[in-house]
Structure 1
Amino acid sequence: MANANNKIMSCDRNCVEIPLWRRYTMTIEEAARYYHIGEGKLRMLIEEHPNEDFYVMNGNRALIKREKFERYLDQATAV
């Protein structure tokens, strides 16, 4: 078990976090910070547009598809 813990610890030190502007998906919290849109507003957009493809559900967690959400925002007249 010590080896498994060491691998996890070494990965934490060696793993590089991908910047938000390069990610394919982001959480609601990350998207809210990135786009300066409230978390509640993002959740409402997902709820009101169930057939849009700018998000994907991972269990009960919604993930925003960055490029597709940007295209959606480009076409929106108001958010």
Structure 2
Amino acid sequence: MKEIPIWEKSNLTLEEAAAYSGIGINKIRLLSDKEDCEFVLWVGTKRLIKRKKLDEYIERMYSI
């Protein structure tokens, strides 16, 4: 099975999002726990991170 590179995926696991962004898993988990988080997608109890929305969020932030 062919593996898709992280930068081409639309949704990432916490581990992939941490590797992609350089932000720690625990920090991403904390940010995505918020009710108004725009870059989290819940699939049942599984948490996925919307890569493009995460990029937009990081661009707007001065510090996390």
**TM above 0.5, one fold?**
yes
Matched, 1:58 2:43: yes
Which residue is 2:32 aligned to? Answer: 46
Greater helix fraction, Structure 1 or Structure 2:
1
- Larger-gyration structure (1/2): 1
Q: Secondary structure at the match of 1:63?
A: strand
CA distance in 1, matches of 2:63, 2:16: 21
| TM-score, with structure 2 as normaliser | 0.90
* Corresponding position: 1:21 with 2:3: no
Q: 5+ unaligned residues in a row in structure 2: which ranges?
A: none
Structure 2 contact 31–37 (Cα < 8 Å) conserved: no
The alpha-carbon deviation at position 70 of structure 1 amounts to 0.3
- How many residues are aligned here? 64
What is the SS of the residue equivalent to 2:47? strand
Q: Could you tell me the percent identity over the aligned residues?
A: 36
For 2:16, the equivalent position in structure 1 comes to: 30
**AA in 2 matched with 1:25:** N
TM-score of the aligned structures, taking structure 1 as reference length = 0.75
- Structure 1: runs of 5 or more not aligned: 1-14
Partner of 1:6: none
Q: CA RMSD in A?
A: 1.0
Higher relative contact order (CA 8 A, sep 6+): 2
